[in-house]
Amino acid sequence: MRAALISEYGQVPEIAEARLPEAGNGQVPVEVELAGLNPVDIAIASGKVDAGAPERPYTPGLAGIGRTPDGRRVWFDLPALPVGSFSERCVIDPARAIDVPDGVEPADAIAFGVAGMAAWLALEWRGALKPGETVLVLGAGGTVGQVAVQAAKLLGAGHVVAATRSERGRERALELGAEKAVSTDAESAIALADELREATGGGADLVMDGLWGLPAEAALASIAFGGRLVQVGNSAGRDAHITAGPLRGGLVSILGYRTFHAPVEVQTEAFTTMCEHASEGRLTIDVEVFPLDRVGEAWQLQQASPGRKLALQP
């Protein structure tokens, strides 16, 4: 079967022939209809991700939508290596698979898997968003951030502020419902903290942080008393300079997040809810689908932060 292949860490994947792994321990083969391309796929392929690097050669692809042998159309994740979702077929654990609601097309649902759940569950499950709270979304220009802006409103936030580097990202966040949008391209964390404090009306109650680095420093310096920062990604840097005293004095919480730690039933409810909102026009994400043969082009576009969801179709 045809699949994308990573033979050296850091390289762009190329199309090659691959062999489907044997299904075992309750696993089943799945016909891939659409594979989601996510920043984490590129991070894993760098060989430097903190969760560990897969043995080479391997087919990337953390998640996708496909058909199981019994006819279910499902969103799935964590296919059995060495063959990920960037292939015609892969092997999955059906107990982790989530049914795609009837009437929802794969291209409409693919964004609500890795990216969508990172946003929704960071706010609802990990961040415990309360009605009326002020939410700050760091990294609002990407797919996770765009879902988070909309999710915060749908979950009852009283005020949503978006922060991202690109002007187009800020414009899009305002279109999606953010009341204000702030540039993260600041000279210092102190300067950015002042801007965030003003935009949030004195500090955010809940920060969804997809950036870390200087923007996270600024968010923590401006956060409201008892505020929570949910750490989802670190595209602005792996390190941040955090002063201890204000964390203690402000009863501030920094919460780590990974979707894999959420129970399957929690993931299922979030995915299904997002699909329902999308079908009713309350949640929207731009998705661009590439044929699998153009995986290299899609990969390089993802590395450039396209501001929309990218997917591959075998």
**Mean local confidence (pLDDT), 291-306:** 96
Task: Round to whole Å and give the CA distance between 110 and 90.
Answer: 17
Task: Round to whole Å and give the CA distance between 32 and 188.
Answer: 45
Task: Round to whole Å and give the CA distance between 32 and 49.
Answer: 25
Span 276-298, pLDDT tens digits: 999 999 999 999 999 999 999 99
Backbone angles phi, psi at 37, to 5 degrees: -100, 120
pLDDT band at residue 49 using 50, 70 and 90 as cut-offs: confident
**Lowest mean pLDDT: which of 48-57, 202-211, 257-266, 279-288?**
48-57
CB contact at 8 A, 312 and 37: yes
Span 202-221, pLDDT tens digits: 999 999 999 999 999 999 99
pLDDT band at residue 50 using 50, 70 and 90 as cut-offs: confident
What pLDDT score does 52 carry?
77
- pTM summary value: 0.94
What pLDDT score does 71 carry?
95
User: Comparing C-alpha atoms, which of 162, 151, 145 is closest to residue 124?
Assistant: 151
pLDDT band at residue 310 using 50, 70 and 90 as cut-offs: very high
**Mean local confidence (pLDDT), 251-270:** 97
Task: Round to whole Å and give the CA distance between 208 and 145.
Answer: 8
